[in-house]
Amino acid sequence: MPKELTVEEDKLRELNTEYLEKYGFHDPEDFYSIKSEKGLSEEVVRWISAIKEEPEWMTDIRVKAYHEFLKKPMPTWGADLSGIDFDQIRYFVRASEKQSTDWNDVPEDIKNTFDKLGIPEAERKFLSGVGAQYESEVVYHKIREDLEQKGVLFLDMDSGLREYPELVKEYFGTVIPYTDNKFAALNTAVWSGGSFIYVPPGVHIEMPLQAYFRINTENMGQFERTLIIVDEGAFVHYVEGCTAPVYSTASLHSAVVEIIVKEGGRGRYTTIQNWSNNIYNLVTKRAVAYKDATMEWVDANLGSKVTMKYPAVYLMEPGAHGEVLSIAFAGDGQHQDAGGKIVHVARDTTSKIVSKSISKGEGRASYRGLLKVYPEASGVRSNVVCDALLLDSASRSDTYPYIEIEEDDVTVGHEASVSKVGEEQLFYLMSRGLSESEANAMIVNGFIEPLAKELPIEFSVELRRLIEIQLEGSVG
Amino acid sequence: MGATLEIRNLHVSIDETPILRGVDLTINQGETHALMGPNGSGKSTLAYAMLGHPAYSVDEGEVLFDGVDVLELEPDERSRLGLFLAFQYPVSVPGVTVANFLRSAINSRRKQENAEDPGISIPEFRRLMKERMDFLDIDHSFAGRYLNAGFSGGEKKRNEILQLAVLQPRFAILDETDSGLDIDALRIVADGVNKLKGPELGVLVITHYKRMLDYLNPEYVHLMMDGRIVESGGAALAEEIEDYGYQPFFEKHGLEVTEE
């Protein structure tokens, strides 16, 4: 029996119906030529590795990670994860057997989907390359010629492993080892898809590299694995965005993203996440930045049932700079447990965490952040700002700022604020003709504006639109 | 025939404390009325109650806008009907530009007329803003600033007048728009209001000081005390108040001196 839909779910369903009509999502099930049975075992892990014809060392890592996953208890310090049933998840689904490098080779119904998503046009306009993850594996991948000429590698992770096994072996799991946490272990055991990017020394990719992700099979987990290496003095901006159709039962998205930024390099990773309201979104993202390097995470979380995500930067050598800009919107029944983590390993490193969270109805947004300064990491400067906005009296916001400083010569600022959308603000805007929900949306969009303007323009517009949809007709 | 705004026997309380005790006032489109009175007499309460602030509860009476009882309407509906309040203390909304705000306000009006209205186009809106800002001698950079955030007192009041100019209501209430302004800022704001006055606009100016009225030349002056309008007249009433203060009026109407 389908449960009663909340207003938000209705909205989301409407939105998705629109997608269904416009974009023809929901392709025939039998299209997925290979998929694993539900549930996880060492056999399933080995089978996934075998199907992909992976080198032995990868199979070994997967198996070890699987046992680590079994050993590690469920984390209980954050959001409620008791709704996850690991036996009900399908750990591998392959959308198409063959990798495509040419748009013409992409299977027709997938192509229709992406055509409607505007990928080819978008590509012409501003993308340097497209990695489109359809189900568990990337089906379409194209690197623009100028990128290829510069020696940039932009592949899906499976192809990266096949074509550049030495490079992958050198870095895979070095930033986030499978022993890091239960979900990193799970991802390492069953990963599929994700992006592999290498930017050679001194190469600046001006246009953002973009990937489109979505989940399309009920009860199917997505375990993509991304590895980005920004070599000395290089620059890359990677952008991922997610839309997902509505499902009736819970699903799990558990990705791992590892980034290495070498001396003088700069990496920026932007996410806009809008999973449907039944998905557990448990993602481990971490970067290491070396001498004079900069790493920036821009992370916007709107959807999902539960999100736990704390993008991290380890500042390994002097002059390194790390930033985490996080936006979280928790609607009814949602728990966004988001934030950031900065570890100052070396002296003279700087960092900034800015978090803006919004809770609506019975939504709950938590900021969870860690700022750590190692002993003898002198001259460190860091600033943490976390602002929360509550839309209703039932809304909830929590702040868990962990600060561990083991050095005296540091400058650390920390500001936190919680505000409620005030009666006076609403009255002022309504006295000019805006409805209550329009006024609310305007206040919320103003609240996130300092971070929203860091997003690529089309993401910024999409984010505003999503927030308006979340607030339409739901107030009062 | 212009529209009429008619306040009949209006009683308003805040947290069960009665503030307005039967206000009667009629304003025709094209007229300018001044409302004077000591602190705590209920002037601002009248302004907020007219726009439907949720903290003010109407216990009795009617406010008719061309025969429509606006007390039944939400604040945004009253605004779209053509009521405007220039706030004494405009609220800041960080991250929202003046232009973005006004464009949304215009579109809410257009949608009211026609649900299918796609909204004012950006070039058309730019032209309108530019024209209105030039008309009021307001620097164009105003449009891109966050609504009242970091505005000086004078800028906030000019911003209210700009909103009045862009939204073009039929009735405007100016709630102590002169308060906190130095003489130059006052003149700029008053000039703005004068430029907007005309047969299409009815104005109710709430003020403590005759200075504002010297600029605006209202046809009618009303004195509010203890939640009622106790006297109405012309410019002479404002002069009498200026010369002698409220003291004689308290005595005349048998009221206890509240303040000043």
User: Tens digits of per-residue pLDDT, A234-293?
Assistant: 999 998 875 443 343 448 889 999 999 999 999 999 988 877 777 899 999 999 999 999
Of the residues A426, A430, A432, A447, the best mutation for testing chain B's interface (the one with the most B CB atoms within 10 Å of its CB) is A432
Q: Both ends of chain B: CA-CA distance in Å?
A: 42
pLDDT beyond 60 at A123: no
Q: Say if residue B65 is in the same domain as residue B113.
A: no
The string of pLDDT tens digits covering residues B148-188 is 999 998 899 999 999 999 999 999 999 998 888 888 888 88
The reported pLDDT for the residue numbered A219 is: 33
| Residue B157, domain member (yes or no) | no
| E strands, A310-458, in order | 312-315, 321-330, 335-344, 350-359, 364-373, 380-390, 396-405, 410-420
Q: Say if residue B80 is in the same domain as residue B205.
A: yes
d(CA B91, nearest CA chain A) in Å: 6
A·B CB contacts under 8 A: 79
| Residue B260, domain member (yes or no) | no
Of A422, A442, A447, which is closest to B101 when you measure between CB atoms? Answer: A442
Of A422, A427, A434, which is closest to B53 when you measure between CB atoms? Answer: A427
Q: In whole angstroms, what is the distance from residue A49 CA to residue A200 CA?
A: 29
The string of pLDDT tens digits covering residues A438-447 is 999 899 999 9
d(CA B80, nearest CA chain A) in Å: 5
Last residue of a domain, one of B99, B117, B150: B150
Q: Which residue of chain A is at minimal alpha-carbon distance from B96?
A: A446
Report chain B residues whose CB lies below 8 A from the CB of A448.
Answer: 95
DSSP labels, B30-44: T-EEEEE--TTSSHH
Q: Say if residue B84 is in the same domain as residue B198.
A: yes
Inter-CA distances, B106 with A404, B112, B122, B163, Å = 51, 10, 12, 10
d(CA B200, nearest CA chain A) in Å: 18
Tokens 């032995």, residue located: A56
Residue range(s) defining the domain that contains residue B133: 91-150
Q: Say if residue B104 is in the same domain as residue B233.
A: no
Q: Say if residue B43 is in the same domain as residue B101.
A: no
Query: Do residues A138 and A156 touch, judged by C-beta distance below 8 A?
Result: yes
Q: Say if residue B248 is in the same domain as residue B170.
A: yes
The string of pLDDT tens digits covering residues A73-91 is 999 988 999 989 898 887 8
* Average model confidence (pLDDT) across chain B: 92
CA-based torsion, A164, A165, A166, A170: positive or negative: positive
In sequence order, the 6+-apart residues with CB closer than 8 A to the CB of A313 are A286, A287, A288, A289, A295, A297, A322, A323, A324, A341, A342, A343, A351
Number of domains in chain B: 2
CA B152, distance to chain mean position in Å, is 20
Q: Which residue of chain B is at minimal alpha-carbon distance from A444?
A: B95
A34 and chain B in contact, CB less than 8 A: no
The string of pLDDT tens digits covering residues A364-375 is 999 999 999 999
DSSP labels, A31-49: G--EEPPBS--HHHHHHHH
Q: Say if residue B78 is in the same domain as residue B108.
A: no
Higher per-residue confidence, A105 vs B32: B32
Q: Say if residue B35 is in the same domain as residue B60.
A: yes
| Residue B161, domain member (yes or no) | no
Report chain B residues whose CB lies below 8 A from the CB of A464.
Answer: none
A445 and chain B in contact, CB less than 8 A: yes
Q: In whole angstroms, what is the distance from residue B103 CA to residue B253 CA?
A: 47
Q: pTM of the full predicted structure?
A: 0.78
Which spans in A127-219 are helix H? 145-149, 157-163, 165-171, 182-190
Inter-CA distances, B98 with A450, B93, B130, B148, Å = 16, 9, 13, 8
Q: Say if residue B217 is in the same domain as residue B109.
A: no
SS3 B122: helix
Q: In whole angstroms, what is the distance from residue A176 CA to residue A184 CA?
A: 7
Q: Say if residue B176 is in the same domain as residue B244.
A: yes
Q: In whole angstroms, what is the distance from residue A386 CA to residue A241 CA?
A: 24
Which A residues in the span 69-98 are in contact with B, Cβ-Cβ below 8 Å? Answer: none
- CATH number of the domain where residue B20 is located: 3.40.50.300
| Residue B120, domain member (yes or no) | yes
Q: Which residue of chain B is at minimal alpha-carbon distance from A447?
A: B95
| Residue B175, domain member (yes or no) | yes
Query: Where is B224: in which H helix or E strand?
Result: strand B220-225
pLDDT beyond 70 at B85: yes
CB B95 to CB A436 under 8 A?
no
| Residue B36, domain member (yes or no) | yes
Q: Say if residue B128 is in the same domain as residue B180.
A: no
Q: In whole angstroms, what is the distance from residue B51 CA to residue B63 CA?
A: 10
Instruction: Flag whether the ipTM exceeds 0.85.
Output: yes
| Residue B39, domain member (yes or no) | yes
The reported pLDDT for the residue numbered A195 is: 87
Report chain A residues whose CB lies below 8 A from the CB of B95.
Answer: 445-450
> And the tokens for B212?
């504002």
Taking residues B245-256, what's their average pLDDT? 88
| Residue B258, domain member (yes or no) | no
> And the tokens for B152?
């000086």
pLDDT beyond 90 at B219: yes
Tokens 């002059």, residue located: A319
Q: Say if residue B17 is in the same domain as residue B143.
A: no
